[in-house]
Amino acid sequence: MHRNKLMTLINRPKPFLLLGFLIACLLLWVTEASVVSSGNFNEDFLVTWSPTHVNTSSDGRSRTLKLDQESGASFSSIQMFLFGKIDMKIKLIPGPSQGTVVAYYMSSDQTNRDEIDFEFLGNVNGQPYILQTNIYADGIDNREERIHLWFDPTKDFHTYSIFWNIHQIVFMVDQIPIRLYRNHTEKGVAYPRLQPMSVKASLWNGESWATRGGRDKVDWSNGPFVASFGDYKIDACVWNGNPELCREESSENWWNKNEFSSLTRVQKRWFKWVRKYHLIYDYCQDYARFHNKLPKECSLPKY
């Protein structure tokens, strides 16, 4: 073959190579598109309660909520999600904060709602902060667990994460798993899997129950009380009306892959450490509350 003709064939665009390149670019785009957070509270969240008690930095990267005798405050994500991983950095109320509740959670806002809760219960000065977690599935809750945090959460920001997929829900503090709730629907246990949820945060007066069962009331002389939020990341399936698109295992729905169906060996060690040294209440150990008939999931594997 003539050399010039050969070089022309070699340099000619090859449709299958071009198609492969475009597919690769598309897959990369889809994967990146699953990261739906901009990092700007003004773009990703709406203030849903008392705008005068919400303060957002000029660049939108951080936000505070304030509680005083007039009002608390809250915000909620514009989008709704079905499965994914949500990270939120929070610095809790410094000083005496008894009676206050800082909540960071996901909720479907339906009558039979699904909900995944972090609730930080204010403390008397010098006492360790209590973190309560709870899960609503098909409108039923009563699944509280409480731990003492192993650090002072008022001194600096720490990352609190919700990892939610078709297999399990994992609550994490600075990427350490503190609680698990598995999908045991095949055994008749309710699990959040059909209702999309928005990401929410609030600060409110919970003095009727939050600190020592309501014995320690809010001391307004220490107010106003301020909780700070920042550096969040939402990597989740944006709800578009079709749950199957969020339930499938794919490159964009990476959280549903089988490798995330349980904890890793290292995560299990951390989880056992939290349970051994920091757990102070587990509904699955409260026989009196349930009249010796614990919820069904209490007898099933956690991982």
- Give catalytic residue positions: 115, 119
Plot region of 290 (φ>0 → left; ψ -120 to 50 → alpha; else → beta) = alpha
Within a domain: 106: yes
Say if residues 99 and 69 touch (Cβ distance below 8 Å).
no
Q: What is the mean pLDDT of residues 104-122?
A: 96
**pLDDT at position 12 over 60:** no
pTM of this prediction? 0.88
Long-range contacts of 40-45, Cβ-Cβ distance < 8 Å, separation of 24 or more: 41/75, 41/229, 41/232, 44/77, 44/78, 44/79, 44/232, 44/234, 45/75, 45/76, 45/77, 45/78, 45/199
Query: What is the C-alpha to C-alpha distance for residues 106 and 201, in angstroms, rounded to an integer?
Result: 9
- Taking only the tens place, the pLDDT of each residue in 16-65 is 344 444 334 333 333 334 567 889 999 999 999 999 999 999 999 999 99
Within a domain: 13: no
Within a domain: 221: yes
* pLDDT at res. 34: 58
Nearest 10 degrees: Cα torsion 146, 152, 154, 156: -120
- Taking only the tens place, the pLDDT of each residue in 261-300 is 999 999 999 999 999 999 999 999 999 999 999 999 999 9
| CATH number of the domain where residue 226 is located | 2.60.120.200
Peptide bond preceding 224 in cis form (omega within 30 of 0): yes
Within a domain: 8: no
pLDDT bucket at 249, cuts 50 / 70 / 90 = confident
Say if residues 117 and 103 touch (Cβ distance below 8 Å).
yes
- Taking only the tens place, the pLDDT of each residue in 187-220 is 999 999 999 999 999 999 999 999 999 999 999 9
**pLDDT at position 14 over 60:** no
Within a domain: 3: no
Within a domain: 26: no
Closest CA to 187 of 61, 290, 297: 297
What domain count does the chain have? 1
Within a domain: 23: no
Range with lowest mean pLDDT among 29-43, 131-145, 149-163, 205-219: 29-43
**pLDDT at position 254 over 50:** yes
Q: What is the CA radius of gyration of the chain?
A: 23
Within a domain: 41: yes
CA–CA distance from 135 to each of 102, 113, 139, 180 (Å)? 16, 10, 10, 10
Structure tokens at 134: 């709870």
Q: Residue 284 sits in which domain range?
A: 34-299
